[in-house]
Chains A and B, each alone.
Chain A
Amino acid sequence: MRLLRLVIILAVGLATLSAATAALADEPGGVTLKPIPPGEKAPGQDSVVLSAQLTSDDSPIAGMPVTFYVVTTVFGERLMKVGEALSDATGTASVLYRPTWDGDITAVARFGGSANYPATQASFHFQATDTVSPWEPPKFGLEPIRQWLPFAVGLAVLAVLGSLGYALGTTVLGIPAAAGRAPATQPLPPWDSRVRRPMPVGRALLGMAVLLAVAAVPAAMLIGRARAPDDVTLSTQSIHYEHDGMPVGGVSPGAQPAPLPETEPLAATLVRSVQTTVFDASGQPAAGSVSMPADVAITAGRIRILDANKGRVITVTPDGTLATILDAAQYGDLSLHGAEAMTALGERLFIAASDGTIIVVKSSGAVEGVIRPVVPAGQAPLTPGGIAVSETGEIWISDTANHRVILMNDSGEFEQVIGSGAPADGDAEFNAPGGITFDDDGNIYVVDTGNHVVKKFSPMGVFLERIGEGRLGQPSSVAVDSDGRVFVSDESAAVVSAFGPDGTYLGSIGQGQLQAPHGVKIEKGLVYVMDRLAGLFVYEAQPPAAASRQ
């Protein structure tokens, strides 16, 4: 009896298993999209055929939409849609594409998935040759007009000049020739007795010269000082960058360059360096490479780099390779192009976009939120050069072009403004403020780039002291370690200079390694320096007790 029951159980189990297996066999297997690169282009043919075959378990899938893209590098790497086609009975979908540039082209075929089949995509390369420019020749016979128009206009100009020349010539030559007898000396009419003798021209000119000379001094004082030639030569030491029409760099147009400061080495060990930018033969950042990185921050134990020229955030993986975690181009209304600064708070990145928007990014790279500053009516838009966010959610922004530092809340409303809005060097004034940070006590440090100092303020925004006077050329960013040491990146001196809590110059790090240091951050005692050209450098500065002070 027990045996019979066992047999029945086994039989039912087997039946269930076989039914389940049969059911699984009906499920679609792995879907693949096999690209079919275009063949040789026939002479005179402009377009190529991009194809891909959609199969499941080697069986063609018909009637499914496949979208084709090509990878463009205009305005950063992105996919440009070529077209969409339904797969035919052989599972093949094809679109026509007319390449507009020669060389290697990367194409992507993408199947978005359906109820029965999962999404998949594949990419492939092909060489485009003899491509046709996207600029089409005029179709309506305008070419002759274009060719002859300059001549017609030129003739009109000549006609005008001719008539003017005729009028002038006949006047200058004709009037003297048409003169009659020499004029008799005419008696002065009665009105002449009513006027005085005019001032002779020579005396009038002399008077004007004296007048101008006298006026020159107050005018020069009124307008501002004319600079000595020595100052001008120093302007070559300032480093300015730009990209896509956006200025990058801390110094405002009106800022005066400072002499290169003397620097002395500070004992520090280079812990790590990462080359972020790969340059091509012409000295420009290679396609796809990081270009002009602006700042660095650490979240989730990973190094995040603000790739200002490409408008993205990349991360340094443990094996040292670079990977994009955020490409702002994927968010229609956001842009990181030209962004100058970012900071980390916990697991979040706060990035100050060039239009003043603050983008909050999770450590995964997903955009968590956006804070749009509420700029009071009549004020210029923000031009952030630095950002610092406190644990309590206070956001400090240095507004470079408007020469002020702003405290705003997480709704973007201004709560406090330091600075007059015009370049100045008072205690609570700035000339193109750049990087901004806090120390452990909540004091605020602002790089006053145009005045070549760092200004320290209390948590309430009261000025406390100047740091680095005479020691900084073109400071751009600042960070403070747990010992109160202030590290300031100096783009013109190409070093990061360190100052003690009392403002004493301690020395500089990065001589011979850094080229254009910009962003500086301190994490777990290490100094992270983002150099726009040379890449990322991580130093371990010797502890204060061991470091020699000056």
Chain B
Amino acid sequence: MALAIERDDLRAAAVRPIVSPGALFWPLMIVFSMIVLGGAVAFLEQLQSGLGVTGLNQRVSWGFYITDMVFFIGVSYGGAVTSAILRLTNAPWRAPLARMAEAMALVTLMIGSLFPIIDLGRPDRMYNLLLHGQVGSPVLWDVVAINTYMAATLIFLMLPLIPDIAFCRDHLGPAAGRMRKLLYDRLSLGWQGTAQQKHILERNMTIVAVTIIPLAVMVHSVLAWLFGMTVRPGWNSTIFAPYFVVGALFSGVAAVILVVATFRKAYNLDAFITEQHFKYLANILLALGMGYAYFLFAETLTEGYKMEGFGAGEGSGALLQETLLGKYAPLFWGFVLGGLALPIAILALPPTRKIPGIVAASALVVVAMWLKRFLIVVPAMATPIMPVGWGAYFPSRVEIAVTLAAAAAVPLLLMLFFRFFPIISIYEMEEVAEHESERPPQSATAEVL
């Protein structure tokens, strides 16, 4: 009986954004829509006038847009891989978080994959890449990898959604309205929860979870090779691929924590997402943070030991000098202290290892990891590879507007998504509860639900 009541609570909570989005829903939609629209207008201006309206120039031809691409795809990677690993390891606590992590992965990937196109002065010529793409070019690898990964992320999100859509179909019924009903009818694929259907679904979810992990690793490795295979100070590194992968996971898990905390608060999901869930995520974030710090140290040490350069003030040695002690030092040390040391301390120390502390640490990590991507992209571009002096870059209002729009599009799309689909995976929660109830009594069902 207790299980039934909890199940009803779970179902009510899972569809709460659909049926009762809350008083702040529309005001927030207006705010985020305006920001997104502002970015769209800015991009239209860029389309009309060309890249001259950005701060990009001959020397620094990659700026905010490429930073955004690496950042958003990295965040996506963190969401998908975290969910996939937890699913494969059958960690029961994943169930209430998985939907949000997977939705965030898809949304951020969609946004991130737009940036290579936004970065083009003539996006209409994108088709040339498909017509005349060079197999040896990391740019083509990136296009293939990102699109494959997007398909995988979509399927990864879709599969566990089928039983939940069927739930909405059956239980929201006519009350959902005609269009929602049509949507639910089509997307639920006639799900009735038969044993064979469950078997097919479980098998395919495992296949996709197994596939998506190496795929995500490859996507971010290819993204890293886009830089690492360029003979340019700061990028000419063999460890860039794992460095990027760990960085992506780091920012991705932090973003998952932020998304989960926000929706938990907004839709009163405290009963299902407890402080323990945040502590589990904090453990992962802490380990990744230390791993990223290790990579940062290894990269900096090897570059600093060599201090290569073809002349005074040039080459990777000069770049390191500028990064550690020069004009980029405030950004770099801001990242190291605010985005690595401080979050690690917050996550590691018991007094701050509470939900507010974990959320604050995650927010610091997300902002700092964007900054780190900026430090990877821009200073390296500004470093002279011929004796012509340093390049300069300052983002224009167009780039700032587009970047803000991308940031606003994440909550906007997530809010929209959860207006149509359950925010918590009812199917997985119930499956996990069922398995847990089959365990010996000390394994409390209530803890899962």
Q: Taking beta carbons and an 8 Å cutoff, which residues of A are in contact with B? A: 75, 150, 153, 157, 160-161, 163-164, 166-168, 170-172, 174-176, 178-181, 183, 186, 188-192, 194-204, 207-208, 211-212, 215-216, 218-220, 222-224, 226-227, 232, 235, 242, 244-247, 253-254, 332-333, 335, 337-338, 353-357, 377-378, 380-381, 383, 401
Q: Are A164 and B211 in contact (CB under 8 A)?
A: yes
- CB contacts (< 8 Å) of A378 on chain B: these are 327, 330
- CB contacts (< 8 Å) of B389 on chain A: these are 335, 353-357, 381
In the assembled complex, the CB of A84 is this many whole angstroms from the nearest CB of chain B, namely 22
A353-B180 Cα distance, complex, nearest whole Å = 65
Given contacts A171-B189, A198-B19, A215-B37, 9 further A-B contacts (CB under 8 A): A164-B152, A175-B189, A178-B194, A179-B192, A223-B397, A244-B388, A246-B59, A333-B311, A335-B387
Q: Are B311 and A198 in contact (CB under 8 A)?
A: no
Instruction: Report if A226-B208 is in contact (Cβ < 8 Å); known contacts: A244-B388, A377-B327.
Output: no
A479-B56 Cα distance, complex, nearest whole Å = 31
Q: Are B30 and A215 in contact (CB under 8 A)?
A: yes
Instruction: Report if A176-B190 is in contact (Cβ < 8 Å); known contacts: A163-B211, A198-B176, A199-B177.
Output: yes
Q: Which residue of A lies closest to B168 (CB)?
A: A198
Q: Are A226 and B207 in contact (CB under 8 A)?
A: no
In the assembled complex, the CB of B408 is this many whole angstroms from the nearest CB of chain A, namely 11
Q: What bracket does the count of chain B residues touching chain A fall in?
A: 35 or more
Q: Are B180 and A200 in contact (CB under 8 A)?
A: yes
- CB contacts (< 8 Å) of B397 on chain A: these are 223-224
Q: Are A180 and B171 in contact (CB under 8 A)?
A: no
A245-B232 Cα distance, complex, nearest whole Å = 15
A175-B215 Cα distance, complex, nearest whole Å = 26
Q: Taking beta carbons and an 8 Å cutoff, which residues of B are in contact with A? A: 8-9, 11-12, 15-16, 18-20, 26, 29-30, 33-35, 37-39, 41-42, 44-45, 48-59, 135-136, 141, 144, 148, 151-152, 155, 158-159, 162, 170-173, 175-180, 183, 189-192, 194, 196-197, 200-201, 203-205, 207-208, 211, 214-215, 311-313, 327, 330, 386-390, 392, 394, 396-398, 401, 419-420
- Our pick among A153, A161, A219, A242 for the contact of B58 (Cβ within 8 Å) is A242
> Which 8 A-B pairs give the minimum distances between C-beta atoms?
A355-B389, A200-B177, A201-B179, A178-B196, A191-B12, A167-B204, A195-B19, A176-B190
- Our pick among B158, B197, B215 for the contact of A178 (Cβ within 8 Å) is B197
- CB contacts (< 8 Å) of B45 on chain A: these are 223-224, 226-227
In the assembled complex, the CB of A43 is this many whole angstroms from the nearest CB of chain B, namely 33
- CB contacts (< 8 Å) of B39 on chain A: these are 223
A247-B387 Cα distance, complex, nearest whole Å = 15
In the assembled complex, the CB of A175 is this many whole angstroms from the nearest CB of chain B, namely 5
A175-B398 Cα distance, complex, nearest whole Å = 47
In the assembled complex, the CB of A106 is this many whole angstroms from the nearest CB of chain B, namely 23
In the assembled complex, the CB of A157 is this many whole angstroms from the nearest CB of chain B, namely 6
- CB contacts (< 8 Å) of B54 on chain A: these are 253
- CB contacts (< 8 Å) of B191 on chain A: these are 175, 179
In the assembled complex, the CB of A536 is this many whole angstroms from the nearest CB of chain B, namely 25
A284-B294 Cα distance, complex, nearest whole Å = 51
In the assembled complex, the CB of B84 is this many whole angstroms from the nearest CB of chain A, namely 13
Can you spell out 22 A-B residue pairs with CB atoms less than 8 angstroms apart?
A: A157-B148, A161-B151, A168-B155, A171-B200, A172-B189, A175-B189, A195-B19, A195-B20, A197-B175, A198-B175, A198-B177, A203-B177, A211-B33, A215-B30, A219-B34, A223-B41, A244-B388, A253-B54, A333-B311, A335-B387, A354-B388, A380-B394
- CB contacts (< 8 Å) of A244 on chain B: these are 386, 388
In the assembled complex, the CB of B142 is this many whole angstroms from the nearest CB of chain A, namely 13
A207-B419 Cα distance, complex, nearest whole Å = 14
Q: Which residue of A lies closest to B163 (CB)?
A: A175
Instruction: Report if A232-B49 is in contact (Cβ < 8 Å); known contacts: A195-B12, A223-B401.
Output: yes
A62-B420 Cα distance, complex, nearest whole Å = 93
Q: Are A75 and B386 in contact (CB under 8 A)?
A: yes
In the assembled complex, the CB of A428 is this many whole angstroms from the nearest CB of chain B, namely 20
Interface centre among A164, A172, A245, A246 (most CB of B within 10 A): A164
- CB contacts (< 8 Å) of A333 on chain B: these are 311-313
- CB contacts (< 8 Å) of B30 on chain A: these are 211, 215
Instruction: Report if A332-B401 is in contact (Cβ < 8 Å); known contacts: A175-B189, A242-B58, A380-B394.
Output: no
A163-B148 Cα distance, complex, nearest whole Å = 11
In the assembled complex, the CB of A448 is this many whole angstroms from the nearest CB of chain B, namely 18
In the assembled complex, the CB of A223 is this many whole angstroms from the nearest CB of chain B, namely 5
Q: Are B171 and A192 in contact (CB under 8 A)?
A: yes
Instruction: Report if A381-B390 is in contact (Cβ < 8 Å); known contacts: A163-B211, A219-B38.
Output: yes
Q: Which residue of B lies closest to A225 (CB)?
A: B45
- CB contacts (< 8 Å) of B16 on chain A: these are 195
Interface centre among B29, B35, B204 (most CB of A within 10 A): B204
Instruction: Report if A163-B180 is in contact (Cβ < 8 Å); known contacts: A178-B194, A195-B15.
Output: no
Q: Are B59 and A211 in contact (CB under 8 A)?
A: no
Q: Are A171 and B204 in contact (CB under 8 A)?
A: yes
Q: Are B388 and A335 in contact (CB under 8 A)?
A: yes
Interface centre among B52, B148, B172 (most CB of A within 10 A): B52
Q: Are A226 and B177 in contact (CB under 8 A)?
A: no
- Our pick among A163, A171, A194 for the contact of B159 (Cβ within 8 Å) is A171
In the assembled complex, the CB of A134 is this many whole angstroms from the nearest CB of chain B, namely 15
In the assembled complex, the CB of B97 is this many whole angstroms from the nearest CB of chain A, namely 22
Q: Are A383 and B392 in contact (CB under 8 A)?
A: yes
A219-B37 Cα distance, complex, nearest whole Å = 6
In the assembled complex, the CB of A80 is this many whole angstroms from the nearest CB of chain B, namely 15
- CB contacts (< 8 Å) of B175 on chain A: these are 197-198
A244-B8 Cα distance, complex, nearest whole Å = 68
